[in-house]
Structure 1
């Protein structure tokens, strides 16, 4: 079995439990038979894990159909309330969404993935199910690339080695040379763009939030339909908005 970066051997039982949890998250519910067939685990293994998670209060069981319980909501709320950076950025994210009407994110890097910690839907935003805690590969989004641009080269190397650069949308960057050129442009201009790189039809604009020593706290992103955001004048307006908002966040981080 592969080892983690610190040399620790992962526990198979924990991996199995979280594969079951992730499956139920994606499919809303599942039975022992369904989970066994879809995940390739023996029915006895699936049943033991489901029963244990049910007893601990993390799953509900309705005549053999299992679902995630609201205990996960409680955990999520606890994380949100204790996350200092989220408390600082959330009001700014809300203001930008109100001002622009677009979907606005604040994202950080966690375990080599870009992770949304604050999301607000503006009145014009396309309704997708984006929630705090959602993760994706960093090379596919404007916010991910904005963060990558200010990591050390060896950190970028490790992230690419761990997660690869598979295509996710029509224009996803899949070659390292192209990614390097994109990151260099972001360092020069201070703004990251993603045109149909994470989702077909989506345009993203992001600004990295940096510490005094230029380490990225995260990135502020505005996203919306490419037909609307790729208009030259409107795009400039959104860049101005995201730059002012990012500056506000950086000032608040110093207080």
Structure 2
């Protein structure tokens, strides 16, 4: 088990660094060069690590695994076309986030249009739920006790000066989201970027995930967030929920 833990730590470090040398991994993880080299060799044999010059990077085998995760649930086959639809309709970036182990995970992302802004978002990226519109939409439909567990486990990281970092303020925001039906991210994860998010609920009322649309603050202003984009998202989520209920 300890050997597996070390391999996972090496993979995590490679993701964070977008590639690293053996010596760099050794320094970051506090492991001897020989240990890092041995684990990398084993990971390479299974296609989980590849080399690019003298850099070690995540292997393409993970694309096989990620494809299995994204399409092993019939529900998610309903989601991806809607992410594309939202990107096309708004000409902004759209995405669908799910919750795993108290964090948000980008499952699908799409950018259509010359003006749409590319950021650090990619499928598989983890992010704090409290700092994204989709994440807050999910939190708003979890039991309070579960939200407290997530806060205890991961904290409320300040991504920008506008991020909600106090429990009471977050719970007040979640109450507003439940009343309003959608969540707003007002430069809370990336400065000069706003987003609106809407949950997708199963028939029992539990969140399966959430759609969101994001763009630069000067273009995605308050009126557009609250009037146009939110309505489009609410309609899309409702359509998916109906398809889930009667499929």
Shorter-normalised TM-score: what interval? over 0.9
Q: Contact 1:30/1:65 (CA < 8 Å) preserved in 2? A: yes
Q: TM-score, normalised by structure 2?
A: 0.93
Q: 1:209 aligns with which of 195, 200, 203?
A: 200
> 2:50 aligns to what SS in structure 1?
strand
Q: Give deviations 1:205-230, integer Å, cap 9, x for gaps.
A: 01111223321111111111111112
How large is the Cα RMSD of the aligned pairs?
A: 1.7
Distance 2:52 2:180 in 1: 54
Q: Give deviations 1:24-66, integer Å, cap 9, x for gaps.
A: 2233322221211122212122112111111222222467532
Q: How does 1:157-168 map to 2 (within 5 A)?
A: 157-168=148-159
The answer for the alignment partner of 1:155 in structure 2 is: 146
Q: How does 1:62-211 map to 2 (within 5 A)?
A: 64-123=54-113, 124-211=115-202
Residues paired across the two proteins, number: 245
Q: Contact 2:141/2:178 (CA < 8 Å) preserved in 1? A: yes
Q: Contact 1:229/1:235 (CA < 8 Å) preserved in 2? A: no
Q: Residue 54 and residue 178 in structure 1: after superposition, are their counterparts in 2 closer, same or farther (change >3 A)?
A: same
Q: Contact 1:170/1:197 (CA < 8 Å) preserved in 2? A: yes
The answer for the alignment partner of 1:31 in structure 2 is: 21
Q: Give deviations 1:135-188, integer Å, cap 9, x for gaps.
A: 111111111111111111111111111000120112100000100100000111
Please, which moves more after superposition, 83-92 or 237-246?
83-92
The answer for the alignment partner of 2:47 in structure 1 is: 57
Structure 2 alignment gaps of length 5 or more: none
Structure 1 alignment gaps of length 5 or more: 1-10
The answer for the alignment partner of 1:15 in structure 2 is: 5
Q: TM-score, normalised by structure 1?
A: 0.90
